Amino acid sequence: MIYNIPYIAVVALIMIGLYAVVFKRNLIKIVIGILLIENGVNLFLITLAFRQDSIAPIYRGTGSRLMSLPVPHALTLTSIVIGVAVLALMLSLIIHIYRHYGTLDARKIGREEE
Amino acid sequence: MNIIDDIILHSPALIVAIPLLGAFLTPLISKINDKVRNVFVISIVLFTSAIVLLLANDIYSACGKIHTYVFGGTAAITEGGFAVRILFEVDGLNIFMAIITTILAISGVIYSWAFMKENTGLDKYYTLYLLMIAGMFGMILTGDMFNFFVFLEITSIASCALIAFWTSKGKAVDAGFKYIVISAIGALFILFAIAILYGQYNALNMAVLASNIQFSFLDKIALVILISGLAMKAGIVPMHMWLPDAYGRAPASVTLILVGVTQASLYGALRMIFTVYGGKLTTTINQIGDVNIDLNLLLGIFIVGLALVTIFIGVLMALKENNFKRMIAFAAVAEIGYIILAIGAALTTVFSATDPRTGIMALKGGIFHILNDALDIGLLFLVAGAIYYATKETSLNRLGGLARNMKYTTIFFLIGLLAVSGMPPMNGFASKLMIYESTYQVNPILSIIAILCSILLLAVFVKVFHSAFLGPKLPKFDNVKEVPKSMLLAMGIIACIIIFIGLFPDLVVNNIVQPAVNALTNNSNYINNVIGGI
Amino acid sequence: MSGMSRIVKTITNVAFPFVMIYGLYVIAHGHLTPGGGFQGGAVVASGLAMILVAYGSIWVVGKVKEKHLSVLESLGAIGFISLAFFGILLVYLYSSFEGTFFSNFLIGQDTIPIFNEIGKGLANINTAGIIPLMNFAVGLKVIAGLFVIVLVMAYSTRIKEGK
């Protein structure tokens, strides 16, 4: 059971994130929802890499001790980097939206006649 | 050593790396001069295209040839048996998609010269444009699941920034935000599925995964998440809400590439279904009486259902839409429906041991239609952009009589109209006929619905043609002139290819589409190319 | 955003060098310890963001120009990708060399003399061939990129706050 807690956390994070994206109307909250999904997926990758009693995968006189798997760490890192880029882009778009419409309510933006 | 051989050897890496290098050099070069920058960007794209053609020549030289390129090493699998190296694996399908991307990239970059001339911040525009092209090539050529995700994200970040390029318009920014939300969620779904697969098989390589896949319960979940993520990116109906906004608000030169991005996502779905899961798709999952319900049948019926909804909603929304570009965008949704209709029909029959010919035919039609759809919809968007450039008007109610002032644009629109609605002399007819024939064998109702929707599509575009181009000359459009030469050249390139394919469909089907179909249906070749080389 | 109080500025002045050193350390030791170009760059960029918060975006924009930062960012990216290109191009300099894109051409080969002595062995600073160089390039790009994002966001939202 104790080893399943991270997976439960993953599912909970993704579900909360999806809930925020689907039901919330404030754009900032939608962005937070996307970040929650992303963190859930990252946590999932990190959990996959975990081995009990393992050490960080650095090559320095470790003898025969078990190392945790480095590939998912690299994947997570890449995913975090991409997440930063997406976050910056979304926030800058939100700044522009706020300038145009003076609101962050998803129901009130993009409704004007051309 | 011969330099051409060297280029072909390294071509999969160069195709991605040269636009990437060009993208990062563009901000520096645009400090010199605008014209130098434009020439630089066009030459980068032309150089990349030349490499794509060299590689295509190499791939098509032998039947079933696969070019595997391993980054930072020679063997795909390291000594300990770990498949951790990133590799690009180019077979018939990859190179087919790369050729489509090439055509779109060349005409898009030529079109941009005049179309974007009056805007500021063009150094960033061209940087993002090249990044988007590089990301698309990466998505198309890669043989690694995680790499696919990375390039998908590169493409969606660059294209989102380009959709919102006209930040002075609120709706463009809104469309960009919608696009980034959907594509970020879609990409995270794909990453989640990749993580599930990685957790089970300890590999990210598509070929290694395909050889190991067991089709456990988790694999099914991963397949569902993968397909839904890619469907979000491809704009299949329940997830299509971003597409009309994004296509409609972006600059026309960007929309052209966005069409290609959608196709690249479809390519991803094809690759995942047919190659990664291909070996196990015929697993029987349920039995009703004596009939085995195989997985491919279930998946095929599901995809066909999605496709019918996509076609219907695309066409119906296009009928009622008043904005020129949004209407073409809904037509694009419908066209994607045709592609996945063919894929779904193929899935139900292509694995049958007795008679796979119907499935092969459907697959051929679907893949051929990917090319035709990119060209037709792309041409229509370029025409819409030309009209916007000349009149600054997108609403169909306020347009009229443009044929008198814009002769060439009218001709190009007519070509696009005939092609997109599947009229005989154009390329759309060839592929749609294949789709009708093969879906008729699967179930006659499918092809009847497809034909009816195609006729409705013709009605939509005839309405546009009438209201925008025909009729009396409106006084406010007296000063409207024909668009600049570079835009005409870009539209001309696509129109020539459309007519060429329309006149000689056999040539294209036999030489380009057939290798792609072979690559899809024969996934053991793809696997052996990596695994066999230990 | 205008500047904050004198206390914040003083603390920032004290903490800033340490943050910088730590970030640069993480970049330089990316191949030996957890970290690398992005992580170290993010640390350095957060130090710069601290300056931005303490002194205000108007003061910082007076010192640093956005276009200079974007040139730096381009240079970082070009450095990264040209290191990858060297893996292909080196075959024209040394005909014995065989490499692909992203080949680690500095490790385990004797064609470039200066990297031979220190290039072998465990846990030394110079053991990973081109990976530290790539870390530096990525670090440069991340520092410039993240800082320009924060700077532009702070500077462009400043007008609203004045009202």
- 8 A C-beta contact, residue A71 and residue B218: no
Domain range for C50 is 6-162
| Nearest beta carbon to residue A95 from set C36, C146, C157 | C157
> Chain B residues with CB-CB distance to A under 8 A?
84, 146, 149-150, 153, 157, 160-161, 164, 167, 170-171, 173-177, 180-181, 184-185, 187-188, 191-192, 195, 198-199, 204, 245, 323, 394-395
| Nearest beta carbon to residue B17 from set C71, C84, C91 | C84
Q: What is the DSSP letter of A3?
A: G
Task: Compute the nearest-CA separation of B212 from chain A (Å).
Answer: 18
* Number of structural domains in chain C: 1
The H or E element containing residue B287 is strand B284-288
Please write the tens of the pLDDT for every residue from A33-63: 999 999 999 999 988 887 777 777 665 555 6
Task: Compute the nearest-CA separation of B280 from chain A (Å).
Answer: 25
Residue B312, CB half-sphere, CA atoms under 13 Å: how many? 11
Rounded Cα distance between B87 and B138, Å, is 11
Task: Compute the nearest-CA separation of B25 from chain C (Å).
Answer: 7
Please write the tens of the pLDDT for every residue from C36-82: 889 999 999 999 999 998 988 888 888 888 888 888 999 999 999 99
- Residues of B in Cβ contact (< 8 Å) with A30: 181
| Nearest beta carbon to residue C149 from set A58, A59, A88 | A88
Residue B84 to residue A110, Cβ atoms within 8 A: no
Is residue C72 one of the residues assigned to a domain? yes
Residue of A nearest to C160 (CA): A99
Residue B72 to residue C104, Cβ atoms within 8 A: yes
Mutation for testing the A interface, residue in B147, B162, B198 having most A CBs under 10 Å: B198
Q: What is the DSSP letter of A105?
A: B
| Nearest beta carbon to residue A78 from set B150, B173, B185 | B150
Residues C7-33 have a mean pLDDT of 90
> Chain C residues with CB-CB distance to B under 8 A?
70-71, 74, 77-78, 81-82, 84-85, 87-88, 91, 95, 98, 100-104
The H or E element containing residue B323 is none
Task: Compute the nearest-CA separation of A35 from chain B (Å).
Answer: 10
> Chain A residues with CB-CB distance to C under 8 A?
56, 58-61, 77, 81, 84, 88, 91-92, 95
Beta bridge mates, B144: B205
Give the residue from B338, B401, B326 showing the smallest Cα distance to B373.
Answer: B338
Mutation for testing the B interface, residue in A36, A89, A98 having most B CBs under 10 Å: A89
Is residue C11 one of the residues assigned to a domain? yes
Residue B192 to residue A14, Cβ atoms within 8 A: yes
Residue A85 to residue B153, Cβ atoms within 8 A: yes
Average predicted confidence (pLDDT) for chain C:
81
Is residue A107 one of the residues assigned to a domain? no
Q: What is the pLDDT along chain A (114 residues), one digit of tens a residue?
A: 788 899 999 999 999 999 999 999 999 999 999 999 999 999 999 888 877 777 776 655 556 677 777 888 888 989 999 999 999 999 999 999 998 888 888 888 877 776
- Residues of C in Cβ contact (< 8 Å) with B10: 88, 100-101
Residue A58 to residue C34, Cβ atoms within 8 A: yes
Task: Compute the nearest-CA separation of B11 from chain C (Å).
Answer: 10
**For the range B439-443, what are the long-range contacts, defined as Cβ-Cβ under 8 Å and sequence gap of 24 or more?**
B439/B341, B439/B342, B439/B345, B439/B362, B441/B349, B441/B358, B441/B361, B442/B345, B442/B348, B442/B349, B442/B358, B442/B362
**Residue C137 has which token pair?**
């390039």
Q: What is the pLDDT of residue C119?
A: 45
Q: What is the pLDDT of residue A60?
A: 57
Q: To 5 degrees, how large is the angle CA B388–CA B389–CA B395?
A: 15
Beta bridge mates, A26: A105
* Number of structural domains in chain A: 1
Q: What is the pLDDT of residue C163?
A: 43
Beta bridge mates, B87: B70
pLDDT value at C162 more than 60: no
pLDDT value at C148 more than 50: yes
Domain range for A86 is 2-51+68-101
| Nearest beta carbon to residue A30 from set B167, B181, B195 | B181
pLDDT value at C96 more than 50: yes
Is residue C1 one of the residues assigned to a domain? no
- Residues of A in Cβ contact (< 8 Å) with B208: none
Residues C91-115 have a mean pLDDT of 67
Residues 314-353 of chain B whose Cβ lies under 8 A from any Cβ of chain C: none
Beta bridge mates, A72: none
Task: Compute the nearest-CA separation of C95 from chain A (Å).
Answer: 33
Residue A59 to residue C123, Cβ atoms within 8 A: yes
- Residues of B in Cβ contact (< 8 Å) with A41: 188, 191-192, 195
Residues 8-67 of chain C whose Cβ lies under 8 A from any Cβ of chain A: 32-34, 36, 38-39, 42
Provide φ and ψ at A67, rounded to 5°.
-110, 150
Residue with the larger pLDDT of the pair B355 and C13: C13
Give the residue from B408, B404, B392, B399 showing the smallest Cα distance to B484.
Answer: B408
The complex's ipTM works out to 0.94
**Residue B291 has which token pair?**
């009939």
Contacts of C among chains (3+ CB pairs under 8 A): A, B
Domain containing residue A40: CATH number: 1.10.287.3510
Q: What is the pLDDT of residue B422?
A: 83
Q: What is the pLDDT of residue B393?
A: 82
Q: How far is CA B496 from CA B107, B381, B412, B427, B502, in A?
A: 12, 16, 10, 11, 10
Q: What is the pLDDT along chain B (534 residues), one digit of tens a residue?
A: 578 888 888 888 899 999 999 999 998 998 888 899 999 999 999 999 999 999 999 888 888 788 888 887 777 777 666 777 888 889 889 999 999 999 999 999 999 999 988 888 888 999 999 999 999 999 999 988 899 999 999 999 999 999 999 988 888 999 999 999 999 999 999 999 999 999 888 888 888 888 888 888 888 899 999 999 999 988 888 888 899 989 988 999 999 999 999 999 999 999 988 888 887 777 777 777 777 778 888 888 889 999 999 999 999 999 888 888 899 999 999 999 999 999 998 888 877 777 788 888 889 999 999 999 999 999 999 999 999 998 888 888 888 888 888 889 999 999 998 898 888 888 888 899 999 989 898 889 988 999 999 999 898 888 888 888 888 888 888 888 888 899 999 999 999 999 999 999 899 999 889 988 888 888 888 888 887 654
Is residue C134 one of the residues assigned to a domain? yes
- Residues of C in Cβ contact (< 8 Å) with A90: none
Please write the tens of the pLDDT for every residue from B40-98: 999 999 999 999 999 999 888 888 788 888 887 777 777 666 777 888 889 889 999 99
Task: Compute the nearest-CA separation of A1 from chain C (Å).
Answer: 30
Task: Compute the nearest-CA separation of C123 from chain A (Å).
Answer: 6
Residue C88 to residue B72, Cβ atoms within 8 A: no
Rounded Cα distance between B310 and B248, Å, is 18
Beta bridge mates, B70: B87
Residue C33 to residue A61, Cβ atoms within 8 A: no
- Residues of B in Cβ contact (< 8 Å) with C97: none
Rounded Cα distance between C73 and C145, Å, is 6
- Residues of C in Cβ contact (< 8 Å) with A59: 122-123
Contacts of B among chains (3+ CB pairs under 8 A): A, C
Q: Is B28's Cβ below 8 Å from some Cβ in C?
A: yes
| Nearest beta carbon to residue B10 from set C82, C88, C104 | C88
Chain-centroid distance, C-alpha B82: 33
Residue A41 to residue B191, Cβ atoms within 8 A: yes
- Residues of B in Cβ contact (< 8 Å) with C77: 24
Residue of C nearest to A81 (CA): C38
Is residue A93 one of the residues assigned to a domain? yes
Q: What is the pLDDT of residue B534?
A: 43
Single-letter residue type at B185: I
Rounded Cα distance between B457 and C103, Å, is 51
B1-26 in b/e form (b: 16+ CB < 10 A) is eeeeeeebbbbbbbbbbbbbbbbbbb
Q: What is the pLDDT of residue C110?
A: 56
Rounded Cα distance between B55 and B43, Å, is 18
- 8 A C-beta contact, residue C52 and residue C60: yes
- 8 A C-beta contact, residue B384 and residue B252: yes
- 8 A C-beta contact, residue B203 and residue B212: yes
Beta bridge mates, C51: none
Q: How far is CA A109 from CA A84, A113, B184, B218, in A?
A: 25, 11, 20, 40
- Residues of B in Cβ contact (< 8 Å) with A29: none
- 8 A C-beta contact, residue C119 and residue C126: yes
- 8 A C-beta contact, residue C144 and residue C76: yes
Rounded to 10 deg, the angle between the B514-521 and B523-531 helix axes is: 70
| Nearest beta carbon to residue B24 from set C74, C98, C100 | C74
Mutation for testing the B interface, residue in C72, C86, C101 having most B CBs under 10 Å: C101
pTM: 0.93
